């Protein structure tokens, strides 16, 4: 089952600003230099692409979502609409960069890796951070439990195919099969304090899952929050998402 998620860029910029704010570590791995040609794969609303341009890089943002692309264009980013699973580039980029996007490209990760390898110039690098093995384990378990309690096998299926959270071993194998040499790969827990409630997060990021429940979606959100409050919410009502990041730096041989 292929699940398509659509975005509202204004809401994303307001409620999910932490996604680009938390990108400091992977930007250090990228170590972008002025004059480099960089593909931002899954550029979203273009916050990071714009920052890379300010550092003197020539950036192309690619995203599948028209509303995100409009927001990126408004930030002055050159963009192209497309799927990460069908990248059309041949040896064009010094670096392909991706933050918090590859886990959404869950239908065919091998096609993403093949397209990334093809898009890089010889000697070019692929630097990415996204959800890795165990990402959001508590949240996903609670979503599955609530879906089961309601007898919704369809919702469980939507969940299973919504995201791609590989282990470092599996992702290394995938990249190596596509001719990339992995220089650095790590799985790092990164508990992330949410700016609002877990319900806000669910409404933004799990809309395909929630859509299965129609007008009961609000009740489902409340049930998931009830299950998770003891483990993800502190005494002041602050929610922390159990993010686990996979970070990778891989190179195309010369």
Contact residues toward ligand BEZ (CB under 6 A) are 100, 103, 131, 135-136, 163, 205, 243
Closest residue to ligand BEZ: CB criterion: 131
What is the rounded distance in angstroms from the CA atom of residue 142 to the CA atom of residue 172?
29
| Distance of closest approach, residue 138 Cβ to ligand BEZ, in angstroms | 12
| Distance of closest approach, residue 155 Cβ to ligand BEZ, in angstroms | 15
Quick one: which of 159, 138, 184 has its CA closest to 31? 184
In the complex with ligand BEZ, the residue whose CB is nearer, 103 or 251, is 103
In the complex with ligand BEZ, the residue whose CB is nearer, 30 or 53, is 30
What is the rounded distance in angstroms from the CA atom of residue 121 to the CA atom of residue 189?
32
Q: Which helix (H) or strand (E) holds 183?
A: strand 181-189
What is the rounded distance in angstroms from the CA atom of residue 100 to the CA atom of residue 129?
6
What is the rounded distance in angstroms from the CA atom of residue 101 to the CA atom of residue 44?
8
In the complex with ligand BEZ, the residue whose CB is nearer, 131 or 166, is 131
In the complex with ligand BEZ, the residue whose CB is nearer, 93 or 205, is 205
Find out whether 39 and 33 touch, Cβ atoms under 8 Å. Answer: no
| Distance of closest approach, residue 23 Cβ to ligand BEZ, in angstroms | 11
| Distance of closest approach, residue 11 Cβ to ligand BEZ, in angstroms | 14
In the complex with ligand BEZ, the residue whose CB is nearer, 124 or 131, is 131
Burial of 149 (0-12, 13-18, 19+ CB in 10 A): exposed
In the complex with ligand BEZ, the residue whose CB is nearer, 57 or 105, is 105
Q: What does the DSSP 8-state code read for residue 220?
A: H
| Distance of closest approach, residue 103 Cβ to ligand BEZ, in angstroms | 5
Q: Would you give the end-to-end CA distance of the chain in angstroms? A: 38
In the complex with ligand BEZ, the residue whose CB is nearer, 19 or 71, is 19
| Distance of closest approach, residue 12 Cβ to ligand BEZ, in angstroms | 11
Tell me the H-state helices in the chain.
Answer: 9-15, 17-21, 24-30, 47-54, 66-74, 109-119, 137-149, 153-162, 168-177, 198-205, 207-211, 217-232
| Distance of closest approach, residue 168 Cβ to ligand BEZ, in angstroms | 16
Beta bridge partners of 182: 250
């Amino acid at each position: 089952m292929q699940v398509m998620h659509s975005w509202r860029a204004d809401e994303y910029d307001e409620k999910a600003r932490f996604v680009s704010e938390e990108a400091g570590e992977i930007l250090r791995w990228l170590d972008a230099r002025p004059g480099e040609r960089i593909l931002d794969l899954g550029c979203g609303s273009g916050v990071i692409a714009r920052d890379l341009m300010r550092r003197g890089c020539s950036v192309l943002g690619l995203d599948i979502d028209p509303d995100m692309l409009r927001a990126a264009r408004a930030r002055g980013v050159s963009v192209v609409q497309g799927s990460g699973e069908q990248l059309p580039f041949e040896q064009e980029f010094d670096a392909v960069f991706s933050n918090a996007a590859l886990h959404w490209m869950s239908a065919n990760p091998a096609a993403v890796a093949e397209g990334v390898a093809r898009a890089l110039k010889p000697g070019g690098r692929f630097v990415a951070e996204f959800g890795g093995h165990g990402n959001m384990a508590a949240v996903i378990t609670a979503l599955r439990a609530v879906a089961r309690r309601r007898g919704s096998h369809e919702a469980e299926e939507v969940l299973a195919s919504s995201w791609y959270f590989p282990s470092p071993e599996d992702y290394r194998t995938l990249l190596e099969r596509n001719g990339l040499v992995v220089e650095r790969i790590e799985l790092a827990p990164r508990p992330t304090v949410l700016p609002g409630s877990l319900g806000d997060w669910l409404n933004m990021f799990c809309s395909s899952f929630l859509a299965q429940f129609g007008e009961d979606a609000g009740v489902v959100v409340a049930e998931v929050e009830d299950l998770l409050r003891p483990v993800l919410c502190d005494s002041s009502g602050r929610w922390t998402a159990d993010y686990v990041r996979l970070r990778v730096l891989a190179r195309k041989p010369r």
